[in-house]
Amino acid sequence: MIKFFWIILFAIFISATGYSQFDHIIFKNVETGGASGTQIDARVNIQMRNFTIESVLREIEKQTEYQFAYESGLFKNTDIVNVSWHKVPLSDALTELFAGRGITFQAKDGKITLQSAPDRASAAVTTTRITQPQFIVSGYTRDSLNNEILRRTTVCDKTNSKDATTNRNGFYRLTLPMGDVELVYSRKGYNTQTVSFYLLRDTVININLAVQELASPTERRASRTTRR
């Protein structure tokens, strides 16, 4: 009898007050799948009209034992929503609330974490970069005339902006991603040499560099002495 009286009183109040742009009706009633009330299948009864998403989240917090956690700025004050839920599971209510907004939610230990879903295109590019096969290009550089090793030769891949310098044994090693490669071999006193190819596996490239033409035999001998 008392319950019926309060229902009649509430109906009279609604009829008397009417609605404005931001008027709302909130039926605060929670039914949960467990005694603790912290299950994600908690059911909510909420009717709100012309309210922000954050206002709806605050109402859910009042009706359940969940607390929402999210970064400031995730929602805009201009995001106005209308919801009408009657015994709706909380997970379904949140799915509806965030539909088309790029927001994901995860519940754990009484807390629901909200975050922006990663952009699929950016995620795909990142994944491609991480999983792209890497191969080793290595070899020796020598003098094309006397087959002497050439230390301090620069080997630069112009495609990937990576470079290496030959060691005392004339050996170099580069780790490069699969794809087009343009290696430029350069050393003072020698002609630059370029090798272009498509890298599909570990590759060995031995290069013989030719001495640059000098003006006189004396300069040529001086250059050879310097290299040694």
Domain holding 43: CATH number? Answer: 3.55.50.30
Q: Is residue 151 part of a domain?
A: yes
Q: Which domain holds residue 71?
A: 21-117
Inform me whether the pLDDT recorded for 61 exceeds 80: yes
User: Is 138 among the domain residues?
Assistant: yes
Mean pLDDT over residues 217-222, rounded? 59
Q: Give Cα separations from 62 to 58, 66, 91, 134, 170 (angstroms).
A: 6, 8, 16, 54, 73
What confidence tens digit (pLDDT) does each residue in 143-187 have?
Answer: 999 999 999 999 999 999 999 999 999 999 999 999 999 999 999
Verify that 57 and 106 share a domain, yes or no: yes
What ranges make up the beta strands (E) of the chain? 29-31, 43-52, 67-69, 80-89, 103-108, 111-116, 134-143, 154-157, 162-165, 171-177, 179-186, 193-199, 203-204, 207-209
- φ, ψ (nearest 5 deg) of residue 226: -65, -40
Is residue 199 assigned to a domain?
A: yes
Structure tokens at 108: 């754990």
Query: What mean pLDDT, rounded, does the chain reach?
Result: 78
On the question of pLDDT at 50 being above 50, the answer is yes
pTM of the model: 0.40
